[in-house]
Amino acid sequence: MDLTPREELDRRIAALQERMGTLSWDAVLIMLRADLFYFAGTAQNGVLVIPAEGDPILLIQKSVTRARQESPLDHIHPMRSISRFGETLSGIREMRFGTVGLEMDVVPAAVYLRLARQYPDTTWVDASVPVRELRMVKSSHEILRMRNAAAQLREMFDRVPEFLGVGIRELDVSVRLEAMLRKLGHQGTIRMHKWNSDSHYGPVSSGPTALYPHAFDGPVGTQGLYAAVPQGAGIRKIRPNEPVMIDFVSGYGGYHIDETRIYSLGPVAPELLEAHEFALTILRRIEDRLTPGALCSDIYEEIATDVNDHPLAPYFMGHGDNRVRFLGHGVGLELDELPVIAPRFEIALQPGMTIAVEPKVFLPDLGGVGVENTYLITEGGFEKLTTNPEEITIC
């Protein structure tokens, strides 16, 4: 098992405590699996209590044994249920609970109300933004895991031409890719921060499928197999001379990488080629701005101004309901991390951020083209973690 070193956790907890000091919060309660793993090194069920000062206390519902194996933290105790949280905690340490942070955008209302009843005088605040802002900047320990996740996709995308063929279903392509990733150590599930989101590796969208409307907050159209689970590959058979857009997510040690490449069986229509070149031009312009200090909102506005003058503007970043107002998003323990390259995200790029950038163009009746890379922001600018060829691969 891949364990997180104590120094790594201490640094993260200290950084949150510093932020809590500024905000005058007394404690933050961490419950979301991705955040538990980030601060405690274990994703077992429970609550990590981080006080403004002093050691954190990890209260575990299941499994205490495993939490103790995985987490190097000193104070790990069993807890029967959230209804016993206050009682369990006060049996361990007296703690000031004047203002307490909770991951309010994901913790269910019933859990929040159950906690609020136990602490009638506490002011509850949303800790999600501070936590997500901390998690934006990856340590070298995390970057190593993201490199391993990138290697999964590098091999997967390289091998697409081995089996892509006329008449096979999108689903069959997806199954091959899913199996390849899993054999390479993909963890199976994809974590989304946004409540009520589904994601299963990502879409394989052939021709017009890339314009099919769906619930996911991304530009790539996808039909899926059922109305009940409207995501991922459908059963459309792949035809010659159309773009097959593969937008896949890998997973190693909890960390994701997001990458999109286009394949076709024989050359695609010239309009699609032109649109793909346009997307690559935009990608280069975004890359020129990927440098510490650049504001995400500025990058978005500058690129939007460039794009607006172009005849392909109406087809950029999604068709119809799928149109999105972002160019990229952070990626790490969750697929939808901060920062977002979008209006109003006045967040300055910093070394250690990992951002998926995805300029894409969708032409009615023809399909989707473009590229998505995940970048690591460095002192000097960026390093591209997804290094497969960016041109359309003609098989």
Q: Tell me which residues in 302-331 interact with a second copy (CB under 8 A).
A: 320-322
Interacting stretch for a second copy, rule CB under 8 A, among 15-23, 32-40, 87-95, 365-373? 32-40
Residue 118 falls in which region: left (phi positive, over 0), alpha (psi -120 to 50) or beta? alpha
Give the C-alpha separation, 278 to 392, whole Å. Answer: 13
Stretch (H or E) spanning 300: helix 296-308
Smallest gap from Cβ 55 to a second copy, in A, equals: 20
Which is nearer to a second copy, 115 or 265 (by Cβ)? 115
Residue 59 interacts with a second copy (CB under 8 A)? no
241-260 residues in contact with a second copy (CB under 8 A) are 251-255
* Chosen residue from 126, 158, 162, 346 binding a second copy by CB under 8 A: 126
CB of 293 to a second copy, least distance (A): 31
CA dist., res. 288 & res. 310, Å (int): 19
Q: How far apart are CA 295 and CA 287, in angstroms?
A: 13
Cis? peptide before 240, omega within 30° of 0? no
Minimum distance from CB of 83 to a second copy (Å)? 13
* Residue among 198 and 277 whose Cβ is closer to a second copy: 198
Instruction: Report in angstroms how near the CB of residue 61 gets to a second copy at its nearest.
Output: 8
**Does residue 92 belong to the site contacting a second copy (CB under 8 A)?**
no
Residue closer to a second copy (CB basis): 70 or 390? 70
Tokens coding 238 = 């792949």
**In the complex, least distance from residue 390 CB atom to a second copy, rounded to whole angstroms:** 27
Q: Which is nearer to a second copy, 11 or 62 (CB)?
A: 62
Which of 17, 122, 231, 388 contacts a second copy by CB under 8 A? 231
Query: Minimum distance from CB of 348 to a second copy (Å)?
Result: 26
CA distances from 388 to 152, 159, 280, 291 (A): 11, 11, 14, 22
Binding to a second copy, residues 134-153 (CB under 8 A) = none
Report the residue count for the chain: 395
Contacts (Cβ under 8 Å, ≥6 apart) of 311: none
**Total number of residues binding a second copy (CB under 8 A)?**
78
**Residue 73 and residue 98 in contact, taking contact as beta carbons nearer than 8 Å:** no
- In angstroms, give the least distance from the CB of 391 to a second copy: 29
User: Closer CB to a second copy, residue 152 or residue 264?
Assistant: 152
User: x/- site string to a second copy, residues 170 to 199, per CB under 8 A?
Assistant: -xx-xxx-xx--xx-x-xxx-----xx-xx
**Which residue from 13, 20, 31, 150 is in contact with a second copy, where contact means CB under 8 A?**
31
Among positions 27, 29, 42, 262, the unique one binding a second copy when judged by CB under 8 A: 42
- Asked if 385 contacts 257 with a C-beta cutoff of 8 angstroms, the reply is yes
C-alpha to C-alpha distance for 198 and 231, rounded to whole angstroms: 7
Among 99-107, 264-272, 281-289, 386-394, which window interacts with a second copy (CB under 8 A)?
99-107
Task: Please provide the DSSP assignment of 146-209 as one string.
Answer: HHHHHHHHHHHHHHGGGT--TT-BHHHHHHHHHHHHHHTT--S----SSTT---SS--EEEGGG
* b (16+ CB within 10 A) / e for 92-121: eeeeebebbbbbeebbeeebeebbeebeee
- List own/partner pairs for 105-114 with CB under 8 A and 24 or more apart: 105/193, 105/195, 106/31, 106/32, 106/193, 106/195, 107/31, 107/32, 111/31, 111/82, 114/82, 114/83, 114/85
- By CB under 8 A, what part of segment 337-376 binds a second copy? none
Stretch that binds a second copy, among 7-15, 19-27, 224-232, 266-274 (CB under 8 A): 224-232
Residues of span 106-125 touching a second copy by CB under 8 A:
106-113, 124
- The answer to whether 95 contacts a second copy (rule: CB under 8 A) is no
